[in-house]
Structure 1
Amino acid sequence: MTAIDMYTPKLLKLYRARKGALGQDMEALLERLEERTTDIVNHRRTAALEGLPVFLRENPTELFKKCNETEDGTKGVSVGILYVMEDIIQTTSPMIQNIAVVLEEVVVLEDVPDPSTALAYLFGLLYALNFSYPKNLKYTFDAIQNLFMELGSGCTQRVLSLKNKLL
């Protein structure tokens, strides 16, 4: 968490500077962040992590999935963080009811307090169980490994470029 907190302001600044080039996903993420008025530190950390796949030109919905309370959101998820939302029909802006870690279409951890903790658990499980990173999230997990966890000696050119921008 310390490394995430250290890089969060720099990542958000980088996201804001490049939001036009990064498309609608990044703009929506930054707009949601600006609307937050409580628990700002946690929301900034979450925005920094959710923006990482967007910045690295990967699909953020491959890592961060959303589903309603009444549906099974694990279908087709090999690795991910699942946000279980309250029923959308009842409100216009649904709240997160539960955060879960999914491996091989199975919820392995649930009731995780926040997305950054869920991502740390997910990375720890992948690392401890010696799972390969999903190909469609290769750069995101490489960034988590090399930037936040400071594990390993080498990283991809794309992540190295991000690391240099943050230093």
Structure 2
Amino acid sequence: MQRTFSYRCQEVVHNKPVISEFVNRWPALFTVSEINAEFMCITTLPLQAKFFRQLDQYTAKLIKIFSSRGGAAGKKIRLLMAPIAKRDNIEVKRDCVIRGLCVYLNEDSNSLVKEYLTVNGEEAKREIAQTTMGIYAIRHEGADEEDGPEAVGVVIEGVEVLSNLRSISFGFAMLFGLIYTLNLSYPQELKYTFEFFQKVLMTLDGNKLSPKVQTLKIKMLQ
């Protein structure tokens, strides 16, 4: 994969292949290790290590900022943050913070993460096939929110490109890496969420921020 990196980049940029074709041509790319390697080649940054180090570093500050939000958004954020108080688990905390961030930035966390019950497997398959870009999470019926999902995967253009991931936050990190790897645009309905992770947490092209993300960054550094 390392030897074919330049050729693959040219194919992505110039041919803009549909994801189903690209998966068939380069199946080895769609693994956690190769996404990390590809991201490193493109940005010179370690995707997984930096993503979680930065997220964990600012988690307490973000939770504090979220708690000050009022109105309907504040109520929704508090519901999303509730599992943290029930279980002291780093994966649960990361998942809650990412979803809470979407709401704080006035974006719909359901556009990023779609949840399904194991009993609704056929419905999940149909909806996943219609998903442009996002993460799916499968839960057992009756399971507590703080227990985490049974299965997590990443979908692009209706294709399940990654599966059996350990958490929603891990799925988001891999989706972020795939967006760089495949030269994709951020979903318009989640542009501020992805901008925050790109420019603030991952410090990639962070000189110019939208006013909304700039305001959040200032609060984080106070």
TM-score, length-scaled by structure 2: 0.68
What residue ranges of structure 1 are gaps of 5+ in the alignment? none
Match of 1:124 among 153, 177, 180: 177
Match of 1:64 among 103, 113, 121: 113
Aligned pairs for 1:127-166 within 5 A: 127-152=180-205, 153-166=207-220
CA contact (8 A) 1:58 1:136 kept: yes
CA deviation digits over 1:43-79, x for unaligned, max 9? 2222111111100000100001111231324143211
The answer as to 2:43 corresponding to 1:17 is no
Determine the structure 2 residue equivalent to 1:5.
56
The answer as to 2:128 corresponding to 1:79 is no
User: Could you tell me how far apart the structure 1 residues matched to 2:202 and 2:76 are?
Assistant: 26
Q: Percent identity?
A: 33
Match of 1:32 among 83, 102, 113: 83
Q: Which residue identity is paired with 1:85?
A: R
User: Could you tell me how far apart the structure 1 residues matched to 2:144 and 2:91 are?
Assistant: 19
What residue ranges of structure 2 are gaps of 5+ in the alignment? 1-51
Q: Which residue identity is paired with 1:125?
A: L
Deviation at 1:155, TM superposition (A): 2.0
- Misfit runs of 4+, over 4 Å: none
How large is the Cα RMSD of the aligned pairs?
A: 1.8
User: Could you tell me how far apart the structure 2 residues matched to 1:99 and 1:9 are?
Assistant: 25
Query: Which has more helix, going by share of residues?
Result: 2
| 149-158 vs 47-56, which moves further | 149-158
Deviation at 1:108, TM superposition (A): 0.5
CA deviation digits over 1:60-100, x for unaligned, max 9? 000011112313241432111110122x2xx2647621010
Alignment: residue pair count:
162
CA contact (8 A) 1:20 1:27 kept: no
CA deviation digits over 1:130-150, x for unaligned, max 9? 101111111011011012211
Deviation at 1:30, TM superposition (A): 2.0
Determine the structure 1 residue equivalent to 2:154.
101
CA contact (8 A) 2:95 2:169 kept: yes
User: Could you tell me how far apart the structure 2 residues matched to 1:75 and 1:24 are?
Assistant: 32
Higher Cα radius of gyration:
2
Deviation at 1:26, TM superposition (A): 0.9
CA contact (8 A) 2:67 2:74 kept: no
